[in-house]
Every structure is written in structure tokens, then in C-alpha cells.
Amino acid sequence: MTTAVHPKNYDIADIGLAERGRFRMQWAAKEMPVLDLLEDRYRRERPFEGIRMAAAMHVTSETANLMRILIAGGAEIALCASNPLSTQDDIAAALVSHYEMPVFAIKGESTTQYNQHINHVLDTEPHLTMDDGMDLVAMLHTQRNSLLDGIIGGTEETTTGVIRLRAMAAQGRLAFPVIAVNDAMTKHFFDNRYGTGQSTLDGIIRATNVLMAGKTFVVGGYGWCSKGIAMRAKGMGSHVIVTEVDPLRALEAVMDGFQVMPMAEAAKVGQIFCSATGDINVIDRRHIEDMRDGAILANSGHFDVEINLRALEDMTTKITRVRDFLDEYTLADGRRIYVAGEGRLVNLAAAEGHPSAVMDMSFANQALAAEYLLKHSEEMTGNVYDMPESLDRQIAALKLKAMGVEIDTLTEEQEAYLNEWTLGTAE
Ligand SMILES: NC(=O)c1ccc[n+]([C@@H]2O[C@H](COP(=O)([O-])OP(=O)(O)OC[C@H]3O[C@@H](n4cnc5c(N)ncnc54)[C@H](O)[C@@H]3O)[C@@H](O)[C@H]2O)c1
């Protein structure tokens, strides 16, 4: 196997943080038993021997544990960030120092540097891609398409990436198969809902330290992520208002006990706003115009487009950083609006991202999807594929086992009954 990139080829903030990163990685690993089970098998079977992988992921302690098991399976991986603000610099240092990984990620990097880092990762001439939001795959198809021939397939971690990939496949532009890890049930049921729910509240609290109890908290959207945010804000005593564009999800929010109204109405009464829709300008100029003095705005969707920051800047006479990850925008009329984490996903910008217990399942999906691609790529084309259901169930069973939770199995009688159509109302 040839090493396309020398291990010392990296760009991180401070290699001196490696020891701290290693401890945090080990702490996260304690809640990632499914990855440990996979690692045991990977050490024996080495399914990724000779395979180069290009990963654009949030550089967190959980991602580092995914990298650890893939390396144990023989993979050579280069890693960059999937968001300029989500890198944990100590983790980047630990991966370089203890795993000799080429890592190109610095918290707070500029957009230019972010794109350069994706390019460095692509310089390794990968066989597999692992993306979170599709920036790496987009660059591969636009600026680096000479590398496309060498690609076997890819995996995609998040809803926004899957939406972009499907749009690309529909235009016949996707050159290799990609597995939508996000759409696995063991991913979005847990990661998007419980992970985003807890870590988004954590991010808002770390950025502001405001009391959640008694606040009017407006949640943009009622998809998997927003449901988690609404549930946790309610649990902390906030009065939660949900905004939606999909009647089914709006109805679900109503039945779950939330007040539902258009953003134009919610804007007038909300004190804290957080959207997680994957959509643009969910909080727009016309909403900001009606907001109360002191309103706090945050986003937990993938890109920093959900709050119209350009319009907010336009309306602003002065911007002051009042705390780490909290900017005060003073408007011409004197009102002050606060933006957490520069409008980027607040759970990663201002906190540490999802707890490792949920990433255990998301990343087991990533590893199994990568393995699946290596075994089945010849039957696959330039399209977006679901995770095979059998793998999803396997991950759920492993997680339950690791948690010490047992469940029933169907008896033969029940199995036969559930496969029979002649048995209806008994005489
Ligand atoms: N912060 C994180 O760590 C994290 C984790 C997972 C996913 N994400 C990202 O969060 C976003 C949402 O993901 P999801 O899995 O919840 O998606 P989803 O498709 O389940 O939900 C999105 C919801 O937003 C609604 N919506 C769209 N436009 C709207 C608008 N203008 N106003 C109100 N509602 C609107 C949709 O109707 C839908 O119900 C994506 O960008 C995804 O990539 C972030």
C-alpha cells in the first residue's frame, strides 16, 4: 500500500493539545460500545486494508473514535472539518500525534482555509469518501473531477447532505454510489432527535447562560432535530412555540402539546429562537424587524443560512462580542439582538456536539456503510442508497445488548400468526 500523504502533513491549531485530546477521546469511547465491538472484528478481519478514505466530518471526540476503528480495520484516512467552527483542536492534535493521521482542521478557520483543507484531504487520492453536508463530494465533482475514476463510493452523515446528493443524482451528476447514513433509523431517530435536542440546548446555554425556565422558546421546524430541541426546551421549563411549513409535522407538534404559529407571529413574542430545518432565511429580516429587545437567535441546521445574518447586519449599527460565541447586534432603533455561535450549528460551535452514546450508533452506520460499499460497489451506480435494513437492525440489537436491555422474541406461534391472512375474527 502506498501512502499518498506523509503523516506529518497536517494543518491543525496546536499539536501541544494532543494529550488533552487523547483523554477526551477515551472518555467519549466509554459510551461507544458498539464501535468497540466493531473494532474487535476490524482488527481480525482488516476489511479496509489498502483503502484510502477522505473524511469531511465535525472533528470531535466521537469522530476520533470512528477514525480509530477504521484505522484498526486497515484504512488510511485523511480528515478535514465539515464546518469551520466545529473542530475541537485538542482532538485534531490527538489524531495527528497518536494516530499519525493527516488532519486539516482548525476551529474558526476562514472559508478559504476550510476549502483548502478539503483540497488537502482530496490530495490523498481517496477510494472512499465520508462526508457530512456534501462539501467534499461537491468539490470532488467540480474542482477535482480527475479523481472521480478512483472513487469506489461514499457515505453521507446528515439530512442536508442527503438532500444535496439526491438533487445531484436526479440531474445524473453523481459519479459514484453514496449511502445515506442519515436515513438509517439508528441514525436519525436518535442522533438527530436526542443528540441534537440535548446538545443544542447545551450550546445555547453555554453561549448565553440564560435560564430556560419561563422563557418563550421558538423552534423553527418540527423535523427530527427540531423535535428534540422542542422536547428538551419544554423539559427545562420554557414555553415552546413551533413554526412549520409541512402540515403533517405541524399537526404532530400540536398533538405533542406545542403552540404552532407562523414565524411572523412567533417573532413578536419569542425570547429565544432556534431553527433546525435545513432551509434558508427561516428567520428573515421581516421577522427580526418585529423582535423584542434582547431576543437570542441560534441555529442548529447544517449551514449558517437559517438566520438571515446579512439582513441583520444591514439593520445593525454596532456588533459587539459580549461573550465567547455570543454577538450583540445593536439595531438602528436601539434594540439589541443576540446571535449565538455566529449562526452556525450552535451545538458544535458553542458546545461539544452530540453526546457519544448516540454517535456510537451513527458511526457504527458509517463504518458498516463503508464496508458495504467495498463489498457491493459493483452492483451500485451513481445514486443515493439507503442503509440496508438488516444492518440497521443489527446496530439496534448491538446497542441494546451493550446497554444491558433484553427484549422478547417472537414465538413460533406468533411468527406463524403474523404471516397468516386467513385468521380474522374468531367464531
Ligand atoms: N446540529 C446538528 O448536530 C445536526 C444533526 C443532524 C442534522 N442536522 C441538520 O439539521 C437540519 C434539519 O435536519 P432534520 O433531520 O431535522 O430534517 P427534517 O427533514 O427531519 O426536518 C426539517 C423540517 O423543517 C421544516 N421546514 C423547512 N423549511 C421550513 C421553514 N421555512 N419554516 C419552518 N419549518 C421548515 C420541514 O418541513 C421539516 O419538517 C439539516 O440541515 C440537518 O443536516 C444538524
What atom of ligand 1 comes closest to residue 347's alpha carbon?
Answer: 1
Tell how far the Cα of 81 is from the centroid of ligand 1, in angstroms: 21
Atom number in ligand 1 closest to CA 220: 33
Centre of ligand 1 from the C-alpha of residue 300, in Å:
8
CATH class assigned to 11-187+354-403:
alpha beta
DSSP secondary structure code for residue 211 in this structure: -
Distance 226 CA to ligand 1 centre (A): 7
Q: Where are the domains positioned within the chain? A: 11-187+354-403, 194-349
Around Cβ 235, how many Cβ atoms within 10 Å?
13
Q: Which atom of ligand 1 is nearest to the CA of 345?
A: 1
- Superfamily the domain 194-349 falls into: NAD(P)-binding Rossmann-like Domain (3.40.50.720)
| Beta-strand relationship, 11-12 and 52-56 | unpaired
Do 259 and 245 meet the contact criterion of CB atoms below 8 Å apart? no
The CA-to-CA distance between both ends of the chain, in Å, stands at 70
Instruction: Give me the DSSP letters along 43-91.
Output: HHH-TTTT-EEEEE---SHHHHHHHHHHHHTT-EEEEE-SSTT---HHH
Residue 422 CA to residue 61 CA, distance in Å, equals: 54
* Cell numbers 397468516: residue: 420
Of all protein residues, the one whose alpha carbon is nearest to atom 6 of ligand 1 is: 192
Question: 0.85 exceeded by the pTM?
Answer: yes
* Dist. CA 243 → ligand 1 center (Å): 12
Question: Is 300 within 8 Å of 274 (Cβ atoms)?
Answer: yes
| Sequence-ordered list of residues with C-beta below 8 angstroms from that of 218, at least 6 positions apart, any chain | 240, 241, 242, 243, 263, 266, 267, 270, 272, 273, 274
Q: How does pLDDT run along the chain (427 residues), one tens digit per residue?
A: 333 444 459 999 999 999 999 999 999 999 999 999 999 999 999 999 999 999 999 999 999 999 999 999 999 999 999 999 999 999 999 999 999 999 999 999 999 999 999 999 999 999 999 999 999 999 999 999 999 999 999 999 999 999 999 999 999 999 999 999 999 999 999 999 999 999 999 999 999 999 999 999 999 999 999 999 999 999 999 999 999 999 999 999 999 999 999 999 999 999 999 999 999 999 999 999 999 999 999 999 999 999 999 999 999 999 999 999 999 999 999 999 999 999 999 999 999 999 999 999 999 999 999 999 999 999 999 999 999 999 999 999 999 999 999 999 999 999 999 999 988 887 7
Q: How many angstroms separate the alpha carbon of residue 221 from the centre of ligand 1?
A: 6
Ligand 1 shell residues, CB under 6 Å: 158-160, 188, 192, 196, 220-226, 243-246, 249, 276-279, 282, 300-302, 345, 347
- Ligand 1 atom showing the smallest separation from residue 133 Cα: 43
Give the distance (Å) from ligand 1 centre to CA of residue 423. Answer: 43
The protein residue with its alpha carbon nearest to ligand 1, atom 40, reads 278
**Would you say the CATH fold of 194-349 matches that of 11-187+354-403?**
yes
Q: How would you classify the pairing of strands 296-299 and 216-220?
A: unpaired
Tell me which of 135, 302, 307, 308 to substitute to probe ligand 1's pocket, judged by most ligand atoms within 8 Å of the beta carbon.
302
Angle, CA of 191, 195 and 199, to the nearest 5°: 150
Ligand 1 centre distance from Cα of residue 161 (Å): 11
Question: How does DSSP assign 231-286, residue by residue?
Answer: HHHHHTT-EEEEE-S-HHHHHHHHHTT-EE--HHHHHHH-SEEEE-SS-S-SB-HH
Reading the block at residue 131, the C-alpha cell is: 462526508
Ligand 1 atom having least distance to the Cα of 277? 24
Q: 247 C-alpha vs ligand 1 centroid, how far in Å?
A: 15
Residue 279 Cα: closest atom of ligand 1: 28
DSSP state of 189: I
Burial letters for 166-203: b for 16+ Cβ neighbours within 10 Å, e otherwise? bebbeeeebbbbbbbbbbbebbbebbbbbbbbbbbbbb
Q: Is 127 helix (H, G, I), strand (E, B) or coil?
A: coil
Q: Are strands 178-180 and 128-131 parallel, antiparallel or unpaired?
A: unpaired
CA-to-CA distance for 223 and 163, rounded, in angstroms?
Answer: 14
Q: Which of 280, 334, 275 is nearest to 311 (CA)?
A: 280
Which 3 state secondary structure label does DSSP give 412? Answer: helix
